[in-house]
Structure 1
Amino acid sequence: MPHAPADAHIRFTLHPDHHPAVISTTSGSTSDAARSHLHDLGFRSIGPDAMVLARIDHEEPYYANTAAKQLSRNGFTVEIETALQDEIDTEWTWGNYPFPWCTRDEVREVSADAQRIHDDIAEGRLIIHLHANDGNTTVAVGTYASGVHRHVHLHGENHVRQVATAYEDETEAVAEFHRLYTVAVRPGPAPLTDLEQSVRRALRGESTPLPRVQFTEAQAAPPTVAGPGEHEEFLNALFESSQHWAKHRTWSDETTIASHENLTIRAELDHEARHRTDIAWTIAEYDGPVGERLWRATITAGTPVRLIHAITDHLDAPLPVDAADPHTPLEEAGWSVASHPARTTWQAPNRSVTFEHLPHAADDRWTAFGGDANRPAWSIRLSAGALHDLLIQLTAAAAELASPPPFAARRSPPLPRLPPPLPQPRARVR
């Protein structure tokens, strides 16, 4: 029997109140079939012609794109709004992810497992008996309605919640939970996190209520972001103003390499970097002209030029510093600090810039980023081995970036201004 034509039209847009949740609207004679497909792909109905995809891992754009491709293959007409398409094209990362060794695909697998646990609890397939706080996160014990090892201990919250241990007997699972967490054990499920509450409001079609505390503009300032072409202008000005850097050709016009005269430092700019998570700059220092790499910095496309300038200036002519630790300029500027055995985080008073130290990491030992940790507007990541004085100069520049004058003038002498670049032809010259 031939199938009916799939003449439904599906439009995907970002949710206006629950970013980055996605709303789908359907029209056409086969809308019911389209809505059935969308339900199987995680969308839930919030109206006669509207469905919503709201997740605890902020991966809605990725899964909406997957749904759009499947519906297109089934013959439906699919439209994706521009703002949502931009989110789909931007491969973002969690700024404070607790498993930094995971690849992007592995992160998505962990999040998908956490989403399934969340859905099982929300839809009654997993009943939580007890919960506790182990000092770092929430843990719980619960029972699935079916399955062999259906009594489980859960560890974590939101997008990193996992099944820690599975048991065949409920009594054993509950007794072991009491033994592990003793006086911290509380009956029933833990209170919903802010993210879980937001997701459930979106699934019910409710708007987000205003927070009780309204932050002033000074307390929640938007991060400073480099504009189009600023990185190229900075690179051109660097060559014009300093005799220490030389331009080198590459096999591709997509990149420019700047080599320091000491032959141990190299900076590479990718001119094709556009999205906020794209790496635009890679700067590295080596143990001699053909030696091993000592450290590396990666810088994304939206990073303010002021911070890149701080790095290159230190490599050219280090400023005298008297700080004992790299984070000293941040503490003097009144940044708040949160410490954990695996991570220490400093945040500017206006929350526009954050600086992190992961003492056990190799590639991303030090990280500075602007804006929300989950979707940073820009980031700078330095590996283990980054120079002590370089880090101090970078944190001083970050403190100046996030603080109004005259604070920065008291921290360190201002970095010299680069002269404006000479007029350049439209074509890139290497």
Structure 2
Amino acid sequence: MRPGPAPLTDTERAAIEALSVLDVTTARPEPAPPQPETVPAYLADAGDHEALLDGFLDTHGEFEKWRTWSDETTHAIHESQTRRIELIHETVALETAWTIAAYETPVSDRIWALTATSATPAPVLQELLNHLANGEGWDTAIGSPVDEKKVTASTQPLSDAGWKHTVDGRWIRWTSPAGFAGVRFDAFTAQHPSQNLAIWAGPDPDRPTWTITASPHTPSSLLSDLSETLAHETGLRRPQTADTGPRTSLITSPPAMPTVAAGHATSRSR
């Protein structure tokens, strides 16, 4: 005889070993979620567009925030009432979410407008708002429309960055080296007075993941700023999983630009 517990049997030892293996398995930590990767600005995530507009309004008191009665749209109207930004909430990827427009007077027709779909990457929109915030890109004087010469000058940053320049009938195009984005200019401006330039990203311009469209009188300085962003800026993109691949919804032409109303909305908030 000896003091202490009886020796473990073979069955007891096997049970303890099995439980220890189970403990190790269940205690194994979950794999860390994949980290966002740095990509060219035109491939970045859309981010929070409402937060971008709120940040713009917080730092620019000359713009007043107006909400429609249904709260589906937010308007940011300059104190002169000749500069207006419209954001439509809860839109799908290829629907127009943003309209930026300039007027010669508060009651005149629109001089120029630029639109962006809701999937437009956050870095592209941020640079656009930064440009407008600096007082640039708000030309409200009626001048000659943007033509091929002006577009070529505005897109010089793309050419310098190695984007491919091609001419196909009425279309003049600049395409990123890997073919994931581009700028397309419609040389038949007179036949399409509402829009003649489109910026896109996706498999090809007829299957974009997002688009920005510009009317003929859009200031060339604004287009040049967008070109700089596309050519040199970067952003973050979350890695795609197997069941959340990139959307490639079909679109055969740039979306039409909605009109920003000349009058005030029915209610407002700061």
Structure 2-normalised TM-score? 0.61
Question: Is 1:266–2:266 an aligned residue pair?
Answer: no
Give 1:313 deviation, angstroms: 2.8
Matched, 1:302 2:119: yes
Partner residue of 2:170?
342
**Which of 50, 53, 61 is the equivalent residue of 1:243?**
61
The 3 A distance-change label for structure 1 pair 345 and 250 is same
Bigger radius of gyration, 1 or 2? Answer: 2
- Which one of 349, 356, 360 corresponds to residue 184 of structure 2? 356
Q: Aligned letter for 1:349? A: P
Query: In the alignment, what sits opposite 2:43?
Result: 223
Query: Is contact 1:225-1:378 (8 Å) kept?
Result: no
- Aligned equivalents of 1:235 and 1:372: distance in 2? 29
- Could you tell me whether the CA contact under 8 Å between 2:77 and 2:83 is conserved in 1? yes
| Aligned equivalent of 1:325 | 153
Cα shift at 1:240:
1.2
CA distance, structure 1, for counterparts of residue 136 and residue 112 of structure 2:
20
Cα distance between partner residues in 1 of 2:41 and 2:227: 18
The runs of at least 4 aligned residues of structure 1 exceeding 3 Å deviation read 401-404
Structure 2: how far apart are the matches of 1:403 and 1:250? 32
Give the one of 225, 236, 250 matched to 1:393: 225
Change (3 A) 1:262 1:357: same
Aligned-residue sequence identity (percent) comes to 32
8 Å contact 1:225–1:377 — kept in the other structure? no
Query: For structure 1, which runs of at least 5 residues remain unmatched after alignment?
Result: 1-217, 405-428
Matched residue type, 1:251 = W
- Given that 2:123 and 2:235 are in contact with CA atoms closer than 8 Å, whether structure 1 keeps it comes out as no
- Alpha-carbon distance change, 221 to 295 in structure 1, aligned in 2, over 3 angstroms: closer
Q: Read off the aligned partner of 2:176 and give its amino acid letter.
A: A
SS in structure 2 of the partner of residue 349 of structure 1:
coil
Answer yes or no: is the 8 Å Cα contact 1:244–1:316 preserved in 2.
no
Q: Mapping of 1:400-415 within 5 angstroms? A: 400-401=232-233
| Paired residue type of 2:194 | D
SS of the residue aligned with 1:325?
helix
Out of 316, 321, 330, which is 2:133 matched to?
A: 316
Counterpart Cα distance in 2 of 1:304 and 1:222: 6
SS of residue paired to 1:233:
helix
Give the letter aligned to residue 369 of structure 1.
W
CA distance in 2, matches of 1:222, 1:299: 13
Aligned CA RMSD, in angstroms, stands at 3.0
Structure 1: how far apart are the matches of 2:52 and 2:202? Answer: 23
CA distance in 1, matches of 2:136, 2:100: 19
Under a length normalisation based on structure 1, what TM-score does the superposition of the two structures give?
0.39
1:402 shift after superposition: 6.4
Alignment of 1:9-88 (within 5 A): none
